[in-house]
Amino acid sequence: MTRLVIPYPVIVEGKYDKIKLDSILDATVIALDGFGIYRSEEKQALLRALAAQQKVIVLTDVDGAGLQIRSFLSSILPRERVIHLYIPERAGKEKRKSAPSAQGLLGVEGIDADTLRALFAPFSKEKRSVGRSVTKADLYAAGLSGGAGSAHKRAELCERLGLPRGLSSGALLDVINLLYRDRYKEFL
């Protein structure tokens, strides 16, 4: 089945949620590492930078932890830039886990693909935004990946753009294509 093209970054709690959504969405999915978002000034700065440029979609589990993380995100991001999506409350446990969650509810990773597609369908676009995508080859040619000093050059670029300094080349690629697609030559 074709993946839905979602023009907004999607923020989820963890890596398994990201894996699930990557299988059904053509979108940038950002995993928060659960409660790690509270300690990560860099990830908070990244989310603020994204929300300053465009809307973001927040999709967390419906358990207490998910609602707490959602509330935290609502406190650090502009209200008008956040689209909250909610999965239905469904009893069960994820296949990879030996026991259900404390509340006995499925999280994002446990919800079936058709239900998730239906949640995202109103936001689906035929094509991603116009403009040429920046590629890994562009980052390499600009000395931002795969070479001596590339991590330092990425950190300098991130600082200039007001992004977290510790972005990997892959994360930087996603951010550039989200925020600067039509202006990438200004800084590459």
CA torsion through residues 154, 187, 160, 9, sign: negative
Angle (CA) 133 18 143, round 5°: 40
Round to whole Å and give the CA distance between 119 and 87: 8
**What secondary structure letter does DSSP report for 3?**
P
Residue-range domains of the chain with CATH: 4-123 (3.40.1360.10), 136-186 (no CATH)
Average predicted confidence (pLDDT) for the chain: 86
pLDDT in tens, 91-108: 887 888 777 777 778 889
Is the predicted pLDDT of residue 133 greater than 90, yes or no? no
Mean pLDDT of 25-36: 93
Of the ranges 14-18, 121-125, 154-158, the best mean pLDDT one: 14-18
Q: Are 30 and 146 in contact (CB under 8 A)?
A: no
Question: What is the pLDDT at residue 155?
Answer: 85
Q: 53-77: string of b/e by CB count within 10 Å (b at 16+)?
A: eebbbbbbbbbebbeebbeebeeeb
Angle formed by the axes of helices 41-53 and 169-179, to 10°?
20
